[in-house]
Copies of this chain bind each other. A is one copy, B any other.
Amino acid sequence: MNKALHLVPPAEPGLSRYASLAQALRARVIAGEWSPGSALPAESQLATEHSVALGTMRRALELLAEQGFIERIHGKGTFVRQGLSGATMLRFFRFDSGTGEVPVSRILQRSRVNAPAAVSRVLGIGTGEPVLRLHRLRLMGGQPRLFEELWLPLDLFEPLAEDDLSTWDDLLYPMFARRVQVHVHRALDDIGFAQLSASQARHLGLPAGHPCAQVQRSAYDLTGRCVELRITRGDAHAFHYTVNIT
């Protein structure tokens, strides 16, 4: 690769030298030079490639680690983040069935639909563009606990539109990474309370109108593209979340 490509871009107004450098490194990750999970070259080599002092490179790498782009594993090196591993919706709920259990996933419905306006706005695609819509139930200890609606842009998820659903995993993000190379890197969860519609309630074995906690998630890949819109609903009485304020 042309070494000149790796020079630090001229400092943007308001960006320190190491922040500009971090941007340049991020561009290399996004361009796919190092794939998620792979190791970055040694700090000294990166510093040489970008013609900066080792200390500057270290600060830039620290910044990328804070931003969740890379992770530094003590004694092993620096790696491009694999994508979210701990994005479980269970952070918002406490069910009887105990801890650590991965909910069983049951896809109730899969269809290609034209994105409604609200969905296309979040996904950043044109209204009416094709998306993959999923209805999904998640069970713990055999009990249905969460009902989910997902919208996935079809240009990224086409291979998952027709395949055998029995091959699907209980956790979607690792499967997205493996099957369609979509790495979810960041998610925004908007939490509110609502009431279950008759059909939502039926899936969860609750009466229509029962209070539910509702989590609207938008999930983003490394480039900042929204790759998933998901609405998760579960019994409001099982909702529980702790915020540490400093």
Contacts and interface: CB of A to CB of B under 8 A. Distances in A.
A237 B236 CA distance: 12
A193 B244 contact: no
A147 B149 CA distance: 34
B189 A211 contact: no
Given A188-B242, A244-B188, A236 B193 contact: yes
A148 B91 CA distance: 26
Interface in A178-229: 185-193, 211, 213
Interface of A: 67-68, 84, 86-87, 185-193, 211, 213, 236-237, 239-246
Contacts of A241: 190-192, 241, 243
Contact of A245 (B67, B187, B242): B187
B193 A245 contact: no
A245 B189 contact: yes
Contacts of A68: 246
Given A211-B211, A236-B236, A243 B193 contact: no
Nearest to A238: B193
A187 to B, nearest CB: 4
A189 B190 CA distance: 17
Nearest to A67: B246
10 contacts: A185-B246, A186-B245, A186-B246, A187-B245, A188-B245, A189-B245, A190-B242, A191-B243, A192-B241, A193-B193
